[in-house]
Chain A
């Protein structure tokens, strides 16, 4: 694949390079002798790189595989196939033990600032944990380093001994960020870091992430569903759909001259807070829902909902290619012009694979962002109510 260099970044090894990454989760039948009855192709052949100090945005709707990609990039998941390189080192099959020193160079920020922090630990302990885990003794001691970090991310260092519950959502996300940058990593995967926050707080956190990048030269893989947020922080953006990267280019290109019909649809689906401008924007309505990643469409995975699809799209899977310098797209018929504000309605893919998804045990155990768990089995969710049976109950005293 062709490597795209952003002019402002030095050549050399990218902090992250992912080549033809595939992450398939087996779907098993239940019972005594479970059989693999299918694969959830959460990520199905994705390639990109992240240069030092750069932000690569990874956008798409729920179930497109963006979160799985992010987690696999940090080797929190072992990929089915493909290659993951960090700072030029192949870590695809590296053991957890060998990964330890590399973990210092990479970190993660999670979507939900409520669940990602241990409620029983003080903020100081949470932010200082990476030092202890990696056995790093910062100059001046851990306590001072943590206070510096708190100050840096906009938290009051006096609150060192408070617990996460005493902070608001935005402040908790700042705690998560302080923990992530504690060891000055080269690279951070941000998984929907602002989608749980209120608008006015989102802007604060985005600005903080940009400032930290400027100061420390951290590269981000910024996973999000909100194209407007991604635009605010990314240098380059990759658009994902059903496990594939559909388009990858610089931010300026993507938002001004999108090529892929899916990108057009996605951009037009987001109303802008500007009623007059809204009337002149492209107006593309996709029909139906995302097809099942267990049984993705043949050819181009987007062809069932695509408004420019031709017969070839049903059989021939488009390979991602450099359509223009620095602008990659996986489409047989890229759209190079403004489509006008007359509504365009995509074809109806018919009933979606919802029913196929049933009985599936777990699609992607790690994909949390907005992916609703549609499956209930005996012994999972619904028996929660009977958990109290584990209580001593009256049985012992009958």
Chain B
């Protein structure tokens, strides 16, 4: 029997963080909402089992990341076709740093976006990210390093002074 009250409590305590994460890995408000709702829907369908999971929020992040990767893979080709013929994207006001970051993130591979989001939004260490994504520590370091370098190239106003010293911290 699934306990609706415990699910609702879990939802209320984690949905905001999950929405930030979804936004960081998809780069799109609507998609983030779709993915996060889909992830919570899957969580509810398995809540009898998941309610006793030692780390249900980590499970949820994994689902969001997998859904985002899959959707990205599919939509990327569709968007690529549209971008050749469609109007140019609307430029955000320069003050909207978060929006500028999201635009830059869209040009990074999914794994790099995921690693950066786990590090900067959830304060996770390289080792913790490696455990969550089930890849070697060296791979996570590479994702973070390449992701930061690429962001530095895409966001030229950012200082790159600390990049060399901290690029795999």
Is B one of A's binding partners? Answer: no
B-binding residues in A (CB < 8 A): none
A-binding residues in B (CB < 8 A): none
